[in-house]
Homo-oligomer: A and B are copies of this chain.
Amino acid sequence: MTETSIIICGQAGQGIQTVGYVLAKAVLRSGYYIFAWQDFQSRIRGGESSFRLVISEKPISSLPEKYDILVSMDKSNTPLYTPLIKSSGIIIAENGSGENFIEVPFQKIAVDIGGNKIYSNASAVGAVSGILGLDFKKIENVLKEEFSKKSDEVADKNIKVAKYSYDETVKNNSKKFPPVKELKNPGRKILTGNESLALGAIAGGCRFMSAYPMTPSTGVITYLSETSQKTGILIEQAEDEIAAINMIIGASFAGVRSLTATSGGGFALMVEGLSLAAMTETPVVVVLGQRPGPATGLPTRTEQGELNFALNAAPGEFPRFIFAPSDAVSAFHLMIKAFEMSQKYRVPVIILTDQYLADSYWTVEDFNFENIKLNDYFSKPEDVAGEFKTYSITDTGISERLKPGESENLVIADSDEHDQYGHITENLTIRKMMVEKRWKKLCLMTDEMNVVVPDGFDKAEIVLVSWGSNGGIVSEVAGILSKKGTKTESINYTEILPLKIPKEFFDKKRKFKIIVVENNFTGQFAGLLEKEGVKIDGKINKYNGLPFTAEEITGEIKKKYDKN
């Protein structure tokens, strides 16, 4: 098997996520790469939802247009997802008919073998792994790990049901798929974007998180809460998002690295706090998980509609960092970088994610923990000469920082315009100085930014530009187009503000076309480049709440540029 794609569909509350996750883990341990996206509705039970799992021998981070296998846990869902299955594909469900149909009585097996229909999921897991030719031992182990948290009996029953279903499926069906082989397993991991951000926060020295639940970002605080006994990170659910950001500003002022996470509506409520962080030069890291807006919009879907908002949110003018991770590894490392940068420059950092990044399972080769190095950006009280100035004017705009209470030095911060000591002032000469001080940081901040650009990309015909979670998809598109004869390169921005632009983009005689691919209506990243003087040759936008597929983008480009 080189690549197999599976949809597991069913109602909310049926546990399709468990089915998908158990399969994914088992396959991962056979040495494959995994990518899985979750498509669900804003409800708790019923309706339509799916877990889309792609298994591949190569790294993967995008979804196909059509899938190989549909596993349906719910009759009413089957017809909805059937159109997404290849004509060569198969459908596994309780009942149905047709050549490509494999009937597995999930519920009956669950009751017969496990004594309860709640084991239907295990039955589905068994059936699919049978079809995939997975080594059952792998499934058994994962089931044991997942369910022995509840009880050994539950774990056992899950295993029994899965095994039965596995055996039956193997027995009754001539395999239609090249089986999952046993490849080398170098200890890869799968985790969601949110889990990865949370892990990055732990690695980045986070000590306090406060947030108010909001899809698709809730997973960050949930993971940090679940692991808080091990990490010692203090977690507090706030009464609202305004409290959340103000609490972390307090904690950060006191001296610890602090985090919050939300979505667009909650971020809107944090905007005044963001400007407080900026004015008081208190570092904060804010995760803004985008979903389709305006207002409540589509809570469980994906979009990249809040770049401009993140860039310009908050009263008054101040510099900030904006990062937009492309996948789990990038989420992990950018979270660490976010903490480092916010501490070093005492500015707010916004991490833009979206439902596609946050809820998807990504394969990670290695986080390379050993390479993580955190710097302590606090000064030593004994090194401070004279009366301490929270906002001392320096060449770089960065002032010394101390923790209140640590020494005789008093730390004074103010949301009003202030003098170097932090006291309120209406002296307009100081005002001017302070505006310039805050902006002086921009120069060094810009030096910190990395934009990864393929060697000789300017020799391409088309350069696809994307940002954030579209990185994997767009790089795949570049590969497809190049293979078809149109030399295409892709550049994905994960470090967005301060913006760095490859000089080749400005070349008046450049041969390559710049096409910007974004999950929004107005082309926000394209606009950002345009503002800096880059001519954009084409924009590809999607705004129905779903992520792009490579096929879709390839199709658009073909349409627009009549490329093969």
Task: Give bound CA distance, A41 to B428, whole Å.
Answer: 11
In the bound complex, residues from chain B placing their C-beta under 8 Å from that of A316 are 264, 292-295, 297, 303, 305-306
Cβ 8 A contact of A312, one of B276, B308, B318, B431: B308
Q: Does A233 interact with chain B (Cβ within 8 Å)?
A: no
CB distance from A167 to the nearest CB of B (A): 39
In the complex, chain B residues whose CB is within 8 Å of the CB of A45: none
Q: Which of A24-32, A151-159, A527-535 contacts B (4 or more CB under 8 A)?
A: A527-535
Which residues on the B side are within 8 Å of A267 (C-beta)?
A: 315
Chain copies in complex: 2
Do A293 and B313 touch across chains, with their CB atoms under 8 A apart? no
Mark contacts of A290-325 with chain B using CB atoms, 8 A cut-off: 1 yes-contact digit, 0 otherwise. Answer: 001111111101010110110111111110000000
Is A435 part of the binding interface, using a Cβ–Cβ cutoff of 8 Å? yes
Contact of A530 among B47, B416, B521, B531 (CB under 8 A): B531
Contact A431 B544, CB 8 Å, known A271-B268, A314-B268: yes
Do the beta carbons of A279 and B293 come within 8 Å of each other? yes
> Is the CB–CB distance between B417 and A315 below 8 Å?
no
- The answer to the question of A450 belonging to the interface, with a C-beta cut-off of 8 Å to chain B, is no
Nearest chain B residue, comparing its CB with the CB of A436: B521
How far is the CB of A290 from the nearest CB of chain B, in Å?
A: 8
CA distance A47 to B545 in the complex (A): 56
Complex: chain B residue closest to A298, CB-CB: B417
In the bound complex, residues from chain B placing their C-beta under 8 Å from that of A293 are: 275, 279, 314-317
Q: Which residue of B lies closest to A293 (CB)?
A: B316
A265: B residues at CB distance < 8 A: 272, 275, 315
Cα-based distance from A521 to B546 in the complex (angstroms): 39
Is A357 close to B, CB under 8 A? no
Residue from B268, B296, B303, B315 in contact with A294 in the complex, judged by beta carbons closer than 8 Å: B315
Q: Is the CB of A172 closer than 8 A to any CB of chain B?
A: no
Q: A276-B295, A531-B531 are in contact. Are A306 and B315 (CB under 8 A)?
A: yes
Neighbour of A428 across the interface among B280, B308, B311, B544, CB < 8 A: B544
Contacts of A272 in B (CB 8 A): 265, 268-269, 295
Q: Are A297 and B417 in contact (CB under 8 A)?
A: yes
Contacts of A269 in B (CB 8 A): 242, 269, 271-272
Check A312/B313 contact, CB under 8 A, given A295-B278, A296-B416, A429-B544.
Answer: yes
The reply to whether the CB of A367 lies closer than 8 angstroms to some CB of chain B is: no
- A250-280 near B? 1/0 per residue, CB < 8 Å: 0000000000000111011101100110111
Q: Which residues A522-564 have CB closer than 8 A to chain B?
A: 522, 524, 527, 530-533, 543-546
- Judged by a CB distance under 8 angstroms, whether A387 is at the interface is no
How many chain A residues touch the partner (CB < 8 A)? 64
| Contact digits for A136-171, partner B, Cβ 8 Å, 1 yes 0 no | 000000000000000000000000000000000000
A520 is an interface residue with CB less than 8 A from chain B: yes
**What's the nearest-Cβ distance from chain B to residue A549, in Å?**
14
Q: Which residues of chain B come closer than 8 Å to A503, judged between CB atoms?
A: none
Cβ–Cβ contact A309 & B306, under 8 A = no
Closest beta carbon of chain B to A177's beta carbon, Å:
30
B533 adjacent to A292 (CB under 8 Å):
no
Which chain B residue shows the least CB distance to A315? B264
Task: Kindly provide the distance from the CB of A399 to the nearest chain B CB, expressed in whole angstroms.
Answer: 16
Q: Please give me the residue from chain B that is nearest to A438 by CB atom.
A: B294
**Residue numbers in B under 8 Å from A276 (CB-CB):** 294-295
**Are A521 and B317 in contact (CB-based, < 8 A)?**
yes
> Is there an interface contact between A313 and B309, defined as CB atoms closer than 8 Å?
yes
Contact indicator B305/A315 (Cβ below 8 Å): yes
Judge whether B521 and A531 touch: CB under 8 Å. Answer: no
Q: Which B residue's beta carbon lies closest to that of A41?
A: B426
User: Does A432 reach chain B (CB closer than 8 Å)?
Assistant: yes
Shortest CB distance A456–B (Å): 28
Q: List 30 A-B contacts (CB under 8 A).
A: A41-B426, A47-B426, A264-B275, A265-B272, A268-B272, A268-B275, A268-B314, A268-B315, A269-B271, A272-B295, A275-B294, A276-B295, A279-B293, A279-B295, A293-B317, A295-B416, A297-B315, A297-B416, A298-B417, A298-B426, A298-B428, A299-B416, A301-B431, A317-B524, A317-B543, A429-B544, A431-B544, A432-B543, A435-B521, A531-B531
- Additional A-B contact list (19), CB under 8 Å, known A279-B293, A317-B522, A530-B532: A42-B416, A263-B315, A264-B315, A265-B275, A267-B315, A268-B271, A271-B271, A275-B294, A279-B295, A294-B314, A294-B317, A296-B414, A297-B316, A297-B416, A309-B315, A317-B521, A317-B543, A439-B521, A439-B522
